[in-house]
Structure 1
Amino acid sequence: MINTYTDNDVTLKAEAGPNEDEGTPYYRPGEVVINTDYSKEFKSYLDGRYTLKQIRDHVARCICAFLNTGKKGMLLIGVDSRGRVVGIECNAQQEARYLQHFLDAVKDIYPPVFGEEYSFHFSPLLEDNGRQHPSLKVIEVRVFPPNSPDVLYECKEGVFVRRNGVLTGPIRPSHIQEWIKQKHFAELDDMRSAEDFLKDELNKKDETIRQQGDTIRSQRSEIERQRHVIESKGCNIL
């Protein structure tokens, strides 16, 4: 289930959300999708002056950018720039056309993107009376980047990335080199941090072992002292 609550007459959708493999069961018109971690991209197409090719190209750019960022993300079509749900016209026939164009968008990306690295969901809008809107939906394009930090994805328009939650591109070759360098430096810093952590843990264990050794030696000395005391008393008795 998705938890919702009302704040200043605006319904906010919790970020936790549903199972990633199933998509969001429904949205409500006017609710606001929280995006504090900048993992979501919004596109409304409110004016209606768009083509399926424009949507396909934007989907290709977003998937490419999320893959290059290396973090899970989601493009929400039918949500405006403020995160407010407005929906997009999408009846059964349109849904089939959208899906085909989205699959074509994936084919435009190189290296090839595999099925487990993305998913498409068409979530209906639920009206106040509890009924599903006859045609408005929110389209979710979810991306699950593989663990391949050395791969740089590009679509027909070039290479796209996301910086601070903003879609950026196509980026120049010099910027690509700088981006790759920064990415490797970040990974190197992570490795160094992990190495420092392991060294610290090892030193702690060494110190614990040393203290345990000192305790054992101290106990042995005390046992030996007590043995000598007992033997001395025995000799005095004799």
Structure 2
Amino acid sequence: MTPPPDQPLPDAVPAPRAHAGTFVSFEGGDGVGKSTQLDLLRGWLAGIGREVVVTREPGGTPLGLELRNAVLHGDHVAPRAEALIYAADRAHHVATVVRPALERGAVVLSDRFLDSSVAYQGVGRGLGADAVERLNLWGVEGLLPDLTVLLDLDPAVGLSRITREPDRLERAGADFHARMRQAYLDRAAADPARFLVLDAAQPPDVIGAQVRTRLAAVLGVPA
């Protein structure tokens, strides 16, 4: 029998597998400087002899590139379909890129992860943070980053930094982006052991130093 459409997802989520590497995600609104910080951190990690894998969501795999183009640059996508596309991309991304790198001991730096879906689709689109989180945790077998760097900035300032043609989510409107920002801040406040919240209006080198200090503590190396 087909379950009713509003039946909640199962609460049971597989426990995350232990891994030898370190998983770091960068989150925040559009235009906050995630790419800049990823590049700075990659250079520091390479300089201390760590294997680094830099990836992104969506788009960290060939399948992800197709899904990214469809969901960000294609025609209208219904909110639930949008959430499912992101979850499918994430499940494939973790299985084929993230988890194999972690198992061999690499440091994985990802431009966005599960928290983006909770903020954008769960809260921004009004689908429900808990439902979207459960869906994604199931897809990635419970995997969460060891450290999530949240670059916080007024959405209007972040969007003003974008010089290319804005994508579907960037065009979602001020109310959407305000809800998304608050969702990120609420998640960070609920899990301070995982999140590092930084003011993205600071100079990039200042932000980079703060990220290195926190990650150095996670890795057990000098900053």
Question: What's the TM-score, normalizing by structure 2?
Answer: 0.32
Highest RCO, 1 vs 2 (Cα 8 Å, sep ≥ 6): 2
Decide which structure has the larger Cα Rg and report it. Answer: 1
Greater strand proportion: 1
Question: What's the TM-score, normalizing by structure 1?
Answer: 0.30
Greater helix proportion: 2
